[in-house]
Structure 1
Amino acid sequence: MIALVRYLAADVLRGQRYLAPLLVFLGVMGMLFSSDAGQPLEAYSGSSALLYPIAAWMAVVVATSEDVVRREITVVNAGGRPRVLTAAALVAVLFAMAMAVLAAVWPVVTNPHPYTAGEFFVGLAAHTGCALLGVGVGLLFARPVLDSIGRTVLAVFTVVVLTYPLGRITPLGWVLDALGHNRVSLSLLGTAAAGVALVAAAVVAGVRRA
């Protein structure tokens, strides 16, 4: 499995399509924290909200990095589609987690307000949950669940856009509400658990669809 994850990660890096979501993420993060972003937990709410769609975008990039023919070759060599889809999910999670760590560290360095260790870890947990939710959404509508990249983009965009106005009905809303009101909540763990469940559901849906 480790070799398969390394192969898929290398393939994503070689294709360079990851640069688009990464550059958007870095650019918006730079704007968010170019000046005083407010109190630590409140500042983290903006970057957490940003990471959700970026992680979904990155997951779609990972899921579609190989064309159909190459993916079938990978499936045969790897010993089955479940292994390949699981490895792809792990790669997407690794990319998302790297951005989550960066998002948690960024304001600690740039924000004039001092961050305690507790606030940093709360922010890291919030970003982790949002990243996992994004990966789950991206994989749930990417190949092989939906074969058309157009339908994938439309479905992911629709779900992401509709998530924000629903507020505390969604796991994303739990995190943003807690951070926006500058409080720590067990909902952060609930969001991470929901994200893991969504990623697992996406892998299962991909296996069944294929």
Structure 2
Amino acid sequence: MTALLRYHSALFLRSQRWLAPLILYAALVVVGVRPGDPVAGSLGIAAAGLLPVSAWAVRICLTQEPEASRAVVAAAGGRSRAHLAALLTGAGWPVLAGAVAACAVTATGDLTGTGGPAALLAGVLATTACALTGGAVGALAARPFVRAPGLSVAALLLGSLGALVTTGSPAKHAVASLVGAEGAVRPPWAACAAAVLLAAVTAAVSRLAAARLE
């Protein structure tokens, strides 16, 4: 699995397709977060902006291989394992970007009423919840479920929007717990745990579908 993760990460980084989602996320954070704003709301904005970026990154990792390369990797490492490695790569890099953003927002935000470590923990948990929820959206909006590029992009956009506004979504709960926070910031443990469960179930379904449909 380590070799497959390194392979997909190398493809992702060398293709430079990560630049577009990273620039989009950086722009969302710069526009939506101002130094000196209440840290809880700023962390919520940074977390929410990561969801479509994570979905995009997962879709990139699932579709970046040429057909011939995909067949060789599937024969060498197993189709299911290769598919899982692509999912983990696509979701892992956004989690890292979200953690960096949470550190920057915490360092520049207004910490009145809360402590820096507590705010940082809440931000990391919220960005992780949004990244994993976005990863689940990206997995369902790409192969093997949706093969047509136009339909895949449309499903990704609609799914990302739905994940941010639908009641019961881990991402919505994580963002709401920060944006609507008054006083001390409470880390969204439940939302993060639910996002981990959602991502795990989605990955299992996606792996099974890839093994049977491709």
Tell me if 1:90 matches 2:93: no
Corresponding residue for 1:20? Answer: 20
2:57–2:91: 8 Å Cα contact kept in structure 1? no
Change (3 A) 1:91 1:191: closer
Partner SS for 1:191: helix
Corresponding residue for 2:198? Answer: 194
Corresponding residue for 1:2? Answer: 2
Which amino acid counterpart does residue 178 of structure 1 have in structure 2? Answer: S
| TM superposition shift of 1:181 | 2.1
C-alpha distance in structure 2 between counterparts of 1:205 and 1:17, whole Å: 25
1:174–1:191: 8 Å Cα contact kept in structure 2? no
C-alpha distance in structure 1 between counterparts of 2:211 and 2:87, whole Å: 12
C-alpha distance in structure 2 between counterparts of 1:10 and 1:128, whole Å: 22
Corresponding residue for 2:44? Answer: 45
Alignment coverage as a number of residue pairs: 207
C-alpha distance in structure 2 between counterparts of 1:137 and 1:203, whole Å: 14
After TM superposition, which residue ranges in structure 1, 4 or more long, deviate above 4 angstroms? none
Corresponding residue for 2:174? Answer: 175
C-alpha distance in structure 1 between counterparts of 2:68 and 2:19, whole Å: 24
| TM superposition shift of 1:70 | 1.9
| TM-score normalised according to structure 1 size | 0.89
Matches within 5 A, 1:1-210: 1-38=1-38, 40-78=39-77, 80-113=78-111, 115-166=115-166, 168-182=167-181, 183-184=185-186, 185-188=188-191, 189-210=193-214
| TM superposition shift of 1:186 | 4.3
Which amino acid counterpart does residue 11 of structure 1 have in structure 2? Answer: L
1:55–1:134: 8 Å Cα contact kept in structure 2? yes
Moved more, 14-23 or 187-196: 187-196
| TM superposition shift of 1:206 | 2.6
1:133–1:198: 8 Å Cα contact kept in structure 2? no
Which amino acid counterpart does residue 47 of structure 1 have in structure 2? Answer: A
Change (3 A) 1:42 1:112: closer
Partner SS for 2:65: coil
Partner SS for 2:146: coil
| TM superposition shift of 1:157 | 1.2
| TM superposition shift of 1:9 | 0.8
2:33–2:45: 8 Å Cα contact kept in structure 1? no
C-alpha distance in structure 2 between counterparts of 1:113 and 1:186, whole Å: 20
1:139–1:202: 8 Å Cα contact kept in structure 2? yes
Change (3 A) 1:122 1:200: farther
Post-superposition CA distance 1:90-125 (Å, at most 9, x none): 211221221121121121232243652122111111
Change (3 A) 1:160 1:93: closer
C-alpha distance in structure 1 between counterparts of 2:202 and 2:133, whole Å: 7
Which amino acid counterpart does residue 66 of structure 1 have in structure 2? Answer: E
Partner SS for 1:169: coil
